[in-house]
Structure 1
Amino acid sequence: MNDLTMNRRTVLLAGSASLLAGLMPQMTLAQSNNAARMNVIAFPEPPTLFIGLDQNGSTQTVSGKIYESLLSYDFDFTPKPGLAESWDVSEDGLTYTFHLVKTAKWHDGEPFTADDVVFTTKEFLMEVHPRARGIFQNCETIEAVDEHTVRFTLKQPFAPFLMGFEMSTAPMIPAHLYRGTDFRTNPNNNKPIGTGPFKLAEWNRGSYIRLEKNPDYHGEGEPHLDEIIFQILPDAGARAVAIEQGQVQQAQFFDIEMFDIQRLSELGNIQLITKGYEFYAPVARIEFNTRVEPFNDKRFRQAICHALDKQLFADAIFFGLGKPATGPISNRTRFYDADVKPYDYDLEKAAALLDEMGLKPDANGVRRTVKFLRLPWGETWARFAELVQQQLALIGIKVEIEPADPASWTSKYANWEFEMTSNYPYQFGDPALGVSRFFVSSNIRKGVAYSNCTGYENPEVDALFEKGATATSDADRQAAYSAAQKILVEDVPMAWLVEVDFPTLLDKGYEDVVVSAIGVNETYRKARKA
């Protein structure tokens, strides 16, 4: 660990113990009896717990215990029962029939039925959830066969259809509370009603969210925990101290600054888990606005790719929790292909490409000044932007870092008001669900974040992603996605740098916590004290 990192950590931790002490009475009170309880960090505080309208990361982590979908997924993406206890797929790949759990109830006591599934997928999600809309628009019909059986009939094969029933993609919504209402202003949005193993008991905004055991949960003998309390700790140092002192038993994603992960994982009562993020498989990257000069010239983008040391980013920014990326698809996602154009760290190649463009250094050695819109999710991304700035200076590209808060970053990104920015969106287990959305020209939609905001257009890539989504054999899908990866890595509308391994820090006194490919966003129906 270098001196700069040590100084950053010292500054973060200085005063954090006293800040945490101000939270201690609340935490101590929460642990005053012998109930089976778990304290988890929630950072940042969720804007809402209604997962139907918001898929923010912290919303998913909390609401994943309240809401459920039809399926869950093993670490290798094998579907597992959720609210569907079994399912059948026709030989032609057009008909999917789900047999639902018969004992599931909504938290208000009403039964969960096929009508709720039809309403959720045919009406609710189609109106408010862009990612789900991309899945269920493939359906010719969605119908209730009987009270506990639902049949989806597709217009044409859509290979990843079974991957579309993850909790944040297709959360089941109670039809009896939402049908015929304005989904976005429904008063039930403020008091979430799901079918999950935990119910919302209390939300003290700015302080904590307390979930309590659902006594009517359909899983026999589940859940095993009585309460889960999500502690809202805005200060990075306080979050680290809370783990260190045992005031919370779990942290996840970027809750803890990356430079502190290894130290905390070496505490005797803490384990470091990197499983449970396979469904998300983020690739930290730089996105270029290909509409503006000089980013509209792929030679400039290629020069940047040669000037960025991927291994240094993996080591210095993510502290070994990740590996250098090769392209748009993570090696943890289906249909990854490593046989693409390599961008080795080579300043001479980078400079030659800039010379070829006619971008010669001025008296100060500067060829071009560009702006980098900094991602506002903590210290990790501040250091990421600083390293980009340092490395591109070596080839005469001067980088001006533009700060942003979450709201302004999202607005600028969605409305194409950037030249370069960093990002790490989720892949959702299949290129058709989490990757193609950033490259197909039909998804160039101003005002919509996490779509094709780079403005990249290539009809051949559009056709390959379409073939990859609709082909019925894995071999044909692989061929299409391999071809798409090769083209994209040549055109580089983005610079893919690191396949990030998100860390979960978990108290060893708990078990069966990370049991699926969505890890900490799961229901925790199986989680228990050891």
Structure 2
Amino acid sequence: MKKGLFSLLTVIISGALLLSACSQQSSTPAAEGNAASTTTTTTDQATTETSSGLTELLKATDISKLPELAQKRTDTVIVGLTDPSGAFTPYFQQSGYDGNVSSLLYSSLVTVDNSGVPIPDLAESFDISDDQLTYTFHLRKDSKFSDGSPLTADDVAFTWTILHDKAYDGGYDLLSAHIKGGEAYKEGKAKTIEGIKVIDPQTISVTLDKVNATALLTLGSEVLSKAYYGKDYKFGQLDYIKNLHATPVGNGPYKLEKFIPGQEVRFVANENYYKGKVKIEHFIYKTTEGDTFQFVETGEQDFGGFQATTDNIDRLKKIGFLNLQPYTASNYGYLQFNMEHETLKDKAVRQALTYGLDRKTIYVDSNQGAAAIANIPTPQSSWSYTEDGINPYNYDPEKAKQLLDEAGWKEGSDGIREKDGKKLKIHFIGSKKKGTDVFIAVAKENYAAIGVQLEAEQFADFNSQIAKFESGDFDLVSFSTPILTDPSDGVISFVNGEVKGYNNPKIKELYDKGLATNDIEARKAVYKELYQVINEDAPYIFTSYGKSVYAYNGRIEGFNLNPFRGLSTSIPEWTLK
């Protein structure tokens, strides 16, 4: 499972946070039905529409209703988070939820503004050569790690180097940036990476073998301390880093105070943060399962994410002390086929299962219109989005039956289709939540009507679902992506082997072509073709684009939703009235 670039705060529709690193490297699975990171959409947050008619920030109407429990917290904010695994080191995370934690512990060399334009973070500035092959980063002289040690170019070089180590098996694909000499280092043919040059303690340059449209953000991610994470480093040996996950040394706005699995993650302000110590001393992620509405209404938590249904928004408005911010996440939901299984290697079967599923009822109608059907691996807000030449796979049981007939699956005496003595059964795995319940109920009926038996398995926690997914013991799994910044983010899973059993050389060719130019119009043409190929191959049943609303305590000021980074860039600016 790939983790990717940015550690982005993400809010799932149930209200707990889900995080994932998101960037061109990753399509890290998130629990199905989740809105993507606390990142919003690439449209202006003040004009984002929901099914309820809420189109802009609605401020709390009666802050006096704030429960006493919340009033007593004068230096602490509490937010819900799905239980992370504890791997809080960037690049080595086990799930997007770990990234939710590390996004407060680490900063990046480069971030993006609300328009998606790269801007400096730990780097004070950066330069790109005329041939677009050499990137030079000028670090801030006041940058330090949380232990007080200085952050220098050597730390950046170390971070880039271990991501090329042959033992690195995490999800961050720095190799895709094609740093000169990177492959030679990975293969053990060189002691250092030729393209990385430490010019002085505050300056480092890196030279690529070829142009890469996403190189700046790929290179500009989190920085690890060489003194801390590199003291035991030997080429080909990275297991030692696992022992450091629980005691991270970062450079972000907060330090890890305590992690109690299944209960909470506690943070305390980092006095060495380069922007200065944040104004809210303590931040807590509550990982306890429960009713998010209840947690927010009683003041146990200060923030929640919900589907933007009329019922939800009406209920949130009545609470009185909550600010409501609508958004449409820059991600997509999907059902992934396991094409290592013989039955699903047949494109006709995958297409039949797509035609045979009433996605509108499952994802739109059941959510009071707080979603739109997806058919390609990019959000509607992306500059690459297109419907030209895209099959919408409208619900069509007769078409599904026709495809299965042609594929040799004939109806048996019990109504379930058979081929070569094998029944057409689909083993689905998903999270234990209302949206999954709706899917199972409708899908079982839909599929039974075309002669397919759906067997469903649900998991109460996301880590268990991921473990089952990694084992390969499934036919169909439900996920959503993290926030997608670049079009390449949404298609990397079809290239890097994450989609089990899927290997179309044309996809890899188009993926590389889409990164080989910085010309937006040329890239649009490439992604249009790429989406058409994926749409035809049907390695996923694309499900929906979710519409959500953030509800947060009206005493919080400085709340800002970056369309590409979400709350991770906003939390350090928060204050409490």
TM over 0.5: yes
Q: Does 1:247 align with 2:300?
A: yes
| 8 Å contact kept, 1:301–1:493 | yes
C-alpha change, 1:101 and 1:51, in structure 2 (3 Å) is same
1:405-434 per-position Cα deviation (integer Å, ceiling 9, x unaligned): 6455434433433222222133631233x3
Which of 108, 114, 121 matches 2:160? 121
Q: Does 1:413 align with 2:469?
A: yes
1:145-204 per-position Cα deviation (integer Å, ceiling 9, x unaligned): 2211221211101111123257xxx32111111214254434542211111111223334
Paired AA for residue 399 in structure 1: L
| 8 Å contact kept, 1:68–1:523 | no
| 8 Å contact kept, 1:48–1:190 | yes
**Deviation for aligned residue 1:462:** 2.0
Q: Secondary structure at the match of 1:374?
A: strand
Q: Percent identity?
A: 26
Root mean square deviation of aligned Cα:
2.9
> Which aligned pairs between 1:379-394 and structure 2 lie closer than 5 A?
379-394=434-449
Which of 111, 132, 146 matches 1:72? 111
1:93-135 per-position Cα deviation (integer Å, ceiling 9, x unaligned): 1111112121111111101111111111222575353323344
Q: Secondary structure at the match of 1:384?
A: helix
**Deviation for aligned residue 1:470:** 1.5
Q: Secondary structure at the match of 2:484?
A: coil
| 8 Å contact kept, 2:354–2:541 | yes
CA separation in 2, counterparts of 1:58 and 1:458? 30
CA separation in 1, counterparts of 2:438 and 2:86? 26
**Deviation for aligned residue 1:33:** 6.3
| 8 Å contact kept, 2:352–2:404 | yes
**Deviation for aligned residue 1:393:** 2.1
Which of 375, 389, 393 matches 1:326? 375
CA separation in 2, counterparts of 1:401 and 1:107? 46
CA separation in 2, counterparts of 1:495 and 1:115? 45
| 8 Å contact kept, 1:98–1:149 | yes
| 8 Å contact kept, 1:321–1:503 | no
Q: Secondary structure at the match of 1:185?
A: helix
Structure 1 range deviating more: 155-164 or 357-366: 357-366
Q: Does 1:224 align with 2:279?
A: yes
1:383-418 per-position Cα deviation (integer Å, ceiling 9, x unaligned): 333332232223222211134564554344334332
Counterpart position of 2:430? 375
Which of 45, 48, 68 matches 2:87? 48
| 8 Å contact kept, 1:212–1:228 | yes
Q: Does 1:152 align with 2:206?
A: yes
**Deviation for aligned residue 1:365:** 3.0
| 8 Å contact kept, 2:329–2:483 | no
1:16-64 per-position Cα deviation (integer Å, ceiling 9, x unaligned): xxxxxxxxxxx999975643x2111122244233334215232222221
The higher-RCO structure (CA 8 Å, 6+ apart) is 2
CA separation in 1, counterparts of 2:376 and 2:526? 15
Counterpart position of 1:112? 151
Counterpart position of 1:344? 394
Paired AA for residue 447 in structure 2: L
| 8 Å contact kept, 1:61–1:522 | no
CA separation in 2, counterparts of 1:257 and 1:43? 20
Structure 1 range deviating more: 256-265 or 371-380: 256-265
C-alpha change, 1:510 and 1:483, in structure 2 (3 Å) is same
**Deviation for aligned residue 1:243:** 0.7
CA separation in 2, counterparts of 1:460 and 1:142? 32
CA separation in 1, counterparts of 2:217 and 2:403? 41
Q: Does 1:510 align with 2:547?
A: no
Q: Secondary structure at the match of 2:410?
A: coil
Counterpart position of 1:131? 172
Q: Which has the higher helix share?
A: 1
Q: Secondary structure at the match of 2:162?
A: helix
| 8 Å contact kept, 2:378–2:484 | no
CA separation in 2, counterparts of 1:258 and 1:47? 33
Q: If the length of structure 2 is used for normalisation, what is the TM-score? A: 0.76
Structure 1 range deviating more: 63-72 or 520-529: 520-529
Counterpart position of 2:482? 426
Paired AA for residue 480 in structure 2: Y
**Deviation for aligned residue 1:223:** 1.9
Counterpart position of 1:172? 223
CA separation in 1, counterparts of 2:179 and 2:382? 22
Counterpart position of 2:31? none
Paired AA for residue 567 in structure 2: V
CA separation in 2, counterparts of 1:498 and 1:508? 31
> Which aligned pairs between 1:429-468 and structure 2 lie closer than 5 A?
429-432=485-488, 434-440=489-495, 443-444=496-497, 451-453=498-500, 455-468=501-514
Structure 1 range deviating more: 71-80 or 401-410: 401-410
